[in-house]
Chains A and B, each alone.
Chain A
Amino acid sequence: MSAALATRGLDKRFGSLVVARGIEFSLPLGARYALIGPNGAGKTTLINLMTGMLRPDAGEILLGDEPIAALPPERRVARGLVRTFQINTLFPHLTPLEAVTLAVCEREGVARTWWRRVSAYSGVVDEAHAILSSLMLGADCYRPTRELPYGRQRLLEIALALATRPKVLLLDEPAAGVPRDESAELFAAIANLSRDITVLFIEHDMNFVFRFASRIIVMVGGRILLEGTPEEVSADPRVREVYLGKSHRTGVHHG
């Protein structure tokens, strides 16, 4: 079976702190995988390594069949490997319409044009608006991003990533900071993602992880502790120990 994304022996350390050690996994095409682990396990770091925001000390990353570890971040995005951010990384003074239009322009290669108005690219604008509408942001898309409620900003994080037409989407705690009763909208948006997109998501809400992920990767202290189906993971005594022994956040509630 061909993998959409795979890593081989990824290592990374910050000084004496090992944040990634021999990371190996592979995501099949169209997969829904969850990456879980206690705070500081190295989950975000792993996304940074795969997307090129950090350079690994060793190891290889394969997107489809192609090694991409030498490519700069924007070239990886152009090839379809896209992420969202745990902490909002948006354009505060742009409206969602402008921000998503920007992303579509960049993808289409028209972002270099300076002699035509944005509004002249009506296909681009239509697509941007369609993406926003599909994430329930249609009514809010004319207000500056910084004025939007936090939950809407989290949706915009996903909208921006979708505008790049990802093949593999890495979602870093999409519902981080959103109150539990408001997170349903976000989880619905993720559940509705096209099956053509391969998804790896980091999430602390175990209900959602167990409902949505076909397989779960558990990371602790920069290493992969185990990978398995939700049943295997929840039955594993080591996972219980990690979560019940050390977790400061959500424990493993399920079933």
Chain B
Amino acid sequence: MTAAAAATSPHAWLQAQARWNRTEIAFWLATLLPFWLFPDYLVLASQIAITALFALSLDLILGYAGIVSLGHAAFFGLGAYTAGLAAKYGWGEPLTGLMLGALAAGIVGYAASFIIARFRHLALIMITLGMGLLLAELANSLHWLTGGTDGLQGVKMWPIFNKFRFDLYGTTAYSYSLIVLFLCFLVARRIINSPFGLSLRGIRENPLRMPALGASSRAHLRKIYTISAVLAGIAGALLAQTTETVSLEVLGFQRSADVLVILILGGAGRLYGGLVGAIIFMVARDQFSGNTPQFWYFWIGALLIAVVMFLPNGILGGLAKLSSAWRSRA
């Protein structure tokens, strides 16, 4: 151990932290498998990719900066309604629609970040919860705009690049969602390995020390919260575009709670936690929920308790521990 450490230079060590490893490459290759193995499930696969992106956006604030949010669906919903409304009122071009969704969520996220960055712990949970409820109720009451509980009807998407139509099987939807997820993941990964990402981890690890090092934690928190809102907005816009409808539940408390559960199950603070969590959660829901969704939450509840008790760093944290134990034995 010491000999190996002495042999590395600090540059090589830091570079190694940011390098792509084989498991990561295998993971992304595996995301292509549904095209051949489960061609009937591409619609589900697309929803998983969207949920994974949403969970990734939450991971950036919760897993890296320690901001707990119970209202993250606010930004998902903003992105969804913005992209949906754009398409409904005549602008069905997907890529610009995605950017509009990102922009709307980003602007509101930036405004909210001035409040968010000043609070921690329970106060933060309550504020984010309040924000989520506020926006959901607003969308409900603006019936003329959002369609209220009937949902937003008449969303018509144009083909991507004027070429790829959104088909019934979800081939285009999954390709599109997967590519957007991957690009956003690259951005998130770069953020984590940057000086800014290092400072975020510093805030998570010890918020008291940061000002003593001359760091302005609040500026960092505002920035990551805005970035996270943008990514959540993109996820919401993707859902609106690939399903060509927007219902009130995009803003619902349930969605905020689900994404938190997904991230905790998968493991916060490791980028892939939200992705793995989304796959497990969505596939399991598809397989088990059937006609009795209440029953499904019974099992999710049990699983959540078990994971938090026995795998405090989520499923990925548990796997990482196993593999390092296995390696040190070999």
Find chain B residues with CB under 8 A from A114 CB: 190-191, 194-197, 223, 227
A56 to chain B, nearest CB (A): 17
Are A164 and B213 in contact, with the CB atoms below 8 A? yes
Are A125 and B10 in contact, with the CB atoms below 8 A? yes
Find chain A residues with CB under 8 A from B14 CB: 97-98, 101, 117-119, 125
B160 to chain A, nearest CB (A): 26
With contact pairs A114-B191, A119-B15 given, residues A73 and B212 touching in the complex (Cβ less than 8 Å): yes
Find chain B residues with CB under 8 A from A40 CB: none
Residues 13-53 of A at the B interface (beta carbon under 8 Å) = 51-53
Find chain B residues with CB under 8 A from A117 CB: 14-15, 18, 190, 193-194
Mask for A125-152, Cβ within 8 A of B = 1, else 0?
1101100000000010111000000000
The yes or no answer to B13 lying at the interface (CB within 8 A) is yes
With contact pairs A89-B206, A89-B209 given, residues A106 and B5 touching in the complex (Cβ less than 8 Å): no
A115 to chain B, nearest CB (A): 6
The yes or no answer to B327 lying at the interface (CB within 8 A) is no
- Give which listed residue, B15, B213, B216, B219, contacts A102 with CB less than 8 A: B213
The yes or no answer to A55 lying at the interface (CB within 8 A) is no
The yes or no answer to B172 lying at the interface (CB within 8 A) is no
User: Which one of A74-82, A199-207, A225-233, A238-246 is at the B interface?
Assistant: A74-82
- Give which listed residue, B6, B13, B17, B220, contacts A111 with CB less than 8 A: B220
Are A113 and B196 in contact, with the CB atoms below 8 A? yes
A125 to chain B, nearest CB (A): 5
Find chain B residues with CB under 8 A from A94 CB: 198, 201-202, 205
Are B194 and A160 in contact, with the CB atoms below 8 A? no
The yes or no answer to A211 lying at the interface (CB within 8 A) is no
Residues 143-172 of A at the B interface (beta carbon under 8 Å) = 143, 160-161, 163-164
Find chain A residues with CB under 8 A from B17 CB: 119
Query: Measured between alpha carbons, how far is A102 from B214 in the docked complex, in Å?
Result: 11
The yes or no answer to A91 lying at the interface (CB within 8 A) is yes
Are B206 and A90 in contact, with the CB atoms below 8 A? yes
Are A129 and B10 in contact, with the CB atoms below 8 A? yes
- Give which listed residue, B11, B212, B215, B223, contacts A119 with CB less than 8 A: B11
The yes or no answer to B47 lying at the interface (CB within 8 A) is no
Find chain A residues with CB under 8 A from B5 CB: 139, 141-143
Find chain B residues with CB under 8 A from A77 CB: 211-214
B269 to chain A, nearest CB (A): 9
Closest to B12 in A: A119
Are B213 and A122 in contact, with the CB atoms below 8 A? no
Residues 66-113 of A at the B interface (beta carbon under 8 Å) = 72-74, 77-78, 82-83, 85, 89-94, 97-99, 101-103, 105-107, 110-113
The yes or no answer to A116 lying at the interface (CB within 8 A) is yes
A166 to chain B, nearest CB (A): 10
Name the residue in A83, A111, A125 with the highest tally of chain B Cβ atoms < 10 Å from its Cβ: A111
Are B197 and A89 in contact, with the CB atoms below 8 A? no
Query: Measured between alpha carbons, how far is A51 from B208 in the docked complex, in Å?
Result: 12
Find chain A residues with CB under 8 A from B228 CB: none
Are A125 and B209 in contact, with the CB atoms below 8 A? no
The yes or no answer to B2 lying at the interface (CB within 8 A) is yes
Are A89 and B212 in contact, with the CB atoms below 8 A? yes
The yes or no answer to B8 lying at the interface (CB within 8 A) is yes
A75 to chain B, nearest CB (A): 8
Query: Measured between alpha carbons, how far is A115 from B197 in the docked complex, in Å?
Result: 10
Chain B residues near A (Cβ < 8 Å): 2, 5-6, 8, 10-11, 13-15, 17-18, 190-191, 193-199, 201-202, 205-206, 208-216, 219-220, 223, 227
Chain A residues near B (Cβ < 8 Å): 51-53, 72-74, 77-78, 82-83, 85, 89-94, 97-99, 101-103, 105-107, 110-119, 121-122, 124-126, 128-129, 139, 141-143, 160-161, 163-164
Q: A82-B212, A91-B206, A98-B14 are in contact. List 18 more A-B contacts (CB 8 A).
A: A53-B212, A73-B212, A89-B209, A91-B201, A93-B201, A98-B198, A98-B201, A102-B201, A102-B202, A106-B199, A111-B195, A112-B219, A113-B196, A114-B196, A115-B194, A119-B11, A124-B195, A160-B209
